[in-house]
Chains A and B, each alone.
Chain A
Amino acid sequence: NAGVTQTPKFQVLKTGQSMTLQCAQDMNHNSMYWYRQDPGMGLRLIYYSASEGTTDKGEVPNGYNVSRLNKREFSLRLESAAPSQTSVYFCASRAYDRLLNTGELFFGEGSRLTVL
């Protein structure tokens, strides 16, 4: 199994350009997440999708849009990239265990985005 796959792994954009980060998971997980990590910082939640068909804002949603295309895929779009969005972006998925009321996150390898 591939787990959580992110594309692209690296991208350089100019200010004002748009792009979409793709994320797919093959573990049949209900929940999916997008985080960003700036150099030397912790992870900050951008958006999440608790289940197919729903999306919600996280800590830092401004400047981003998301689409939960189906159960497997969760994309993150930058409509007009800004230098402040230079970061490493991580996608994650999680299975929710109703009996245990918990579930661990599985992360992708990250997408490194530079906005000039």
Chain B
Amino acid sequence: DAKTTQPNSMESNEEEPVHLPCNHSTISGTDYIHWYRQLPSQGPEYVIHGLTSNVNNRMASLAIAEDRKSSTLILHRATLRDAAVYYCILHGSGNTGKLIFGQGTTLQVKP
């Protein structure tokens, strides 16, 4: 199974953009890149996903490198409510189902 590597922690100031990196050098051509986040004392929630092209939604943007070996989750204006653990995971093709989370990046947002 392809694995992802993320920094353990990052800090940001409120109202500033945040770029959360993820390396996935062994990604296969049919793997989708998904991001989830986990707020304190809650289960993870879906943030965004993509395959090759950059993606935007109301929560965040996802920038995918041209060789697909890395991606970046972008929070355009961090708020205190964005303080969470962010996970980058790969969804394999088909319904094989085995979804592995890594350690994630703990984002601290300072007022």
Assess whether B94 is interfacial by the CB under 8 Å rule.
Answer: yes
CA distance A31 to B99 in the complex (A): 11
Instruction: Using known A-B contacts A102-B49, A104-B49, A108-B43, determine if residue A44 contacts B97 with beta carbons closer than 8 Å.
Output: no
> Which interface class (under 10, 10 to 19, 20 to 34, 35 or more) fits B?
20 to 34
Assess whether B68 is interfacial by the CB under 8 Å rule.
Answer: no
Contact of B104 among A42, A48, A98, A110 (CB under 8 A): A42
With CB as the reference atom, state the residue of chain A lying closest to B1. Answer: A59
Interface residues of B in 34-58 (CB under 8 A from A): 34, 36, 42-46, 49
CA distance A30 to B42 in the complex (A): 23
Assess the A104–B46 pair: CB atoms within 8 A. Answer: yes
Q: Nearest chain A CB to B29's CB is how many angstroms away? A: 12
Interface residues of A in 60-116 (CB under 8 A from B): 90, 92, 94, 96, 98, 101-110
Assess the A42–B43 pair: CB atoms within 8 A. Answer: no
Assess the B100–A59 pair: CB atoms within 8 A. Answer: yes
Q: Kindly name the residue among A49, A90, A96, A105 whose own CB sees the greatest number of chain B CB atoms within 10 A.
A: A105
Q: Nearest chain B CB to A91's CB is how many angstroms away? A: 9
Q: Which A residues are in CB contact (< 8 Å) with B46?
A: 104-106
Q: Which A residues are in CB contact (< 8 Å) with B42?
A: 109-110
Assess the A31–B95 pair: CB atoms within 8 A. Answer: yes
Q: Which A residues are in CB contact (< 8 Å) with B85?
A: 42
User: Using a CB–CB distance below 8 Å, which chain B residues touch chain A?
Assistant: 30, 32, 34, 36, 42-46, 49, 85, 87, 91, 93-104
**Contacts A4-B43, A56-B97 known; 11 new A-B pairs at CB < 8 A:** A48-B99, A50-B95, A50-B97, A51-B95, A58-B98, A58-B100, A102-B32, A102-B34, A105-B46, A106-B46, A108-B43
